[in-house]
Each structure stands twice: as structure tokens, then as C-alpha cells.
């Protein structure tokens, strides 16, 4: 669900992926069986868009990790922290300025 604020629109997506019996090279079929004993990664994606006519991405984060991973709690905490940082993108009016920041951001736009 997108969340609106004056600095832009924040969107968070959580996807649960499963492997199927269909190969990569075969045409996409709707009746692929899921493979139960295979990896089932959980992907998290967070995006912050500005309010321009053609929205630009202010910040983004995405990570896919296995659901059975031993350090799942630590990964989830890191994901939440990263997504909070994405959500806060564009809010700070007195943002910290680091030397070279202007040149770096201009270089990205070129």
C-alpha cells in the first residue's frame, strides 16, 4: 500500500517466491507445478518516489533471502532499518552535506 507524505510516495512490497518444474528456456506456462523441497526466498523491496509528473526514484532497497536462513531475524531487522531509511528519503530539509555529494549526484544524472 503506497503511503503519501509531502516528500513523496513510499511503497513496500514483500514477495514469497517458489521454484517450479518449468525450465527457463520453455515458453511460460500457467500450469507449472511448484517444487516443495526447494528454496523459497522471501523478497522485500522498498521504493520512495517524488511527486513530479514523471515520478523519479528518490531511494530504493531490495533484498531476497531464503526463508529458512538461520539468521532470518537479523536479516529482517536489517531490512526494516533499510526500508525506514528509504521511507525517510527526501524528508530532511537540513540534510547532512558531504564533500563531493553534489558532483556525485550530478554524475548519476548524466
Residue 83, helix vs strand vs coil: helix
Residue 36 lies in a domain: yes
**Integer-rounded Cα radius of gyration of the chain:** 19
Residue 106 lies in a domain: no
pLDDT digits (tens, 9 = 90+) for 23-38: 777 666 677 888 887 7
Residue 2 half-sphere exposure, CB side, CA atoms within 13 Å?
Answer: 9
Structural domain including 64 reads 9-88
| Burial grade of 100 (CB within 10 A; 0-12, 13-18, 19 or more) | exposed
d(CA 91, CA 40): 35
pLDDT digits (tens, 9 = 90+) for 61-108: 988 876 555 567 777 788 888 888 888 887 765 455 555 555 555 556
Residue 104 lies in a domain: no
Residue 32 lies in a domain: yes
Residue 107 lies in a domain: no
Q: Cβ(91)–Cβ(5) under 8 Å? A: yes
The count of structural domains within the chain is: 1
Residue 94 lies in a domain: no
Residue 72 lies in a domain: yes
Q: Are strands 41-49 and 57-66 parallel, antiparallel or unpaired?
A: antiparallel
pTM of the model: 0.60
Cell of 41: 526466498
Residue 1 lies in a domain: no
Amino acid at each position: 500500500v503506497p503511503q503519501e507524505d509531502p516528500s513523496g510516495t513510499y511503497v513496500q512490497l514483500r514477495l514469497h517466491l517458489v521454484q517450479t518444474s518449468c525450465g527457463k528456456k520453455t515458453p511460460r506456462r500457467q500450469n507449472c507445478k511448484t517444487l516443495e523441497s526447494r528454496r523459497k526466498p522471501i523478497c522485500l523491496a522498498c521504493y520512495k518516489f517524488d511527486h513530479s509528473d514523471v515520478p523519479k526514484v528518490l531511494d530504493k532497497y531490495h533484498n531476497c533471502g531464503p526463508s529458512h536462513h538461520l539468521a532470518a531475524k537479523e536479516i529482517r531487522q536489517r531490512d526494516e532499518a533499510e526500508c525506514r531509511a528509504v521511507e525517510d528519503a527526501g524528508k530532511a530539509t537540513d540534510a547532512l552535506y558531504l564533500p563531493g555529494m553534489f558532483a556525485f549526484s550530478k554524475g548519476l544524472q548524466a
